[in-house]
Amino acid sequence: MDELTTKAFVLRTRNYGESDRIVVLLTEELGKVSAIAKGARRSHRRFAGGALEPFGELNVRMAPKSYGSLAFLHESRVLSSNIKVGADLDAYAWASYLTELTELMTVEHDPSRDLYDFYRDVIARLGTGPAEPVAHHYVLGLLDRSGWAPDLDACGICAEPVTEFSRPMLDSRGSGVVCSRHEAEALGLDPDDANFRPSRRIIDDTLLSYLRRAATDIPDPAELAVSDLATALLERLVDLHLGRNLRSRAFLKGLRMERRRAEQPKELP
């Protein structure tokens, strides 16, 4: 393929050799592309001003190669730096997590203008208000675009509509939610027995309603407990599909724990 100029975001970089850099890009025209930027660590002309840093929208000039080969990234210029992300620690932590998810949940050379626009809009929103609702909306949208959209309206086993009386819990297969009675029946127990305790957390109606809103749009901020449960549930859902640890999640979890401790009322002496 001939040389191409397109908009892009950096998903990940690593140094290579003495002066080169391997760059994973989410591009507007080609989808995810891995490229080598020759001399990038020395060139202040072709890769100037944060042109290989995450979260900023770039204009890149590259020579794509066939699948399985690294493209050649010749030049990169910053179009929008999204400095609000770097100025807000919460926004930065969530942006790092969402960026890592985007890399892991997309395949090379699969053009998707919709995904590119979705990522660009979400990154632009981070740092302008509460980060969690924006992030929850993006994770659900990314699952959908990856073919893993969870069904939050019908049981993944019996297909009956899910209500609070279903006592729904996350389907361990990753399809969405299931009625907890199926677990009791599989164990030969009476689902209505007061002594029956499902093995996984019951998703209450407040959390389920929030997730349903987040699947279609950025929801209004939820109460702290609901937001934390939504984050944990979506992490578990992602793990069921990816089956691997995410580097950015540890930083995000540590930051959230610090913020939660700081928000707790202090005891009087």
Residues 257, 219 share a domain: yes
Token duo for residue 163: 């209500």
Residues 72, 146 share a domain: no
Residue 269 predicted with pLDDT over 60: no
Token duo for residue 39: 């001399």
pLDDT band at 180 (very low <50, low <70, confident <90, very high): very high
Q: Which one has a higher pLDDT value, 119 or 110?
A: 119
In sequence order, the β-bridge partners of residue 46 are: none
Q: Which of 31, 46, 81 is the last residue of a domain?
A: 81
Residue 67 predicted with pLDDT over 70: no
Q: Give per-residue pLDDT as tens, 130-168.
A: 999 999 999 999 999 999 999 999 999 999 999 988 999
Find the domain containing 134 and state its range.
83-269
pLDDT at 68: 67
Question: Which candidate, 215, 123, 132, 218, places its Cα nearest to that of 176?
Answer: 215
Maximum Cα interatomic distance, the chain, rounded to a whole number of Å: 71
**Number of domains the chain contains:** 2
pLDDT band at 211 (very low <50, low <70, confident <90, very high): very high
Residues 210, 257 share a domain: yes
Question: For 224-244, what is the mean pLDDT?
Answer: 93
Its pTM stands at 0.92
pLDDT at 193: 86
Residues 150, 17 share a domain: no
Q: Which of 81, 111, 144 is the last residue of a domain?
A: 81
pLDDT band at 266 (very low <50, low <70, confident <90, very high): low
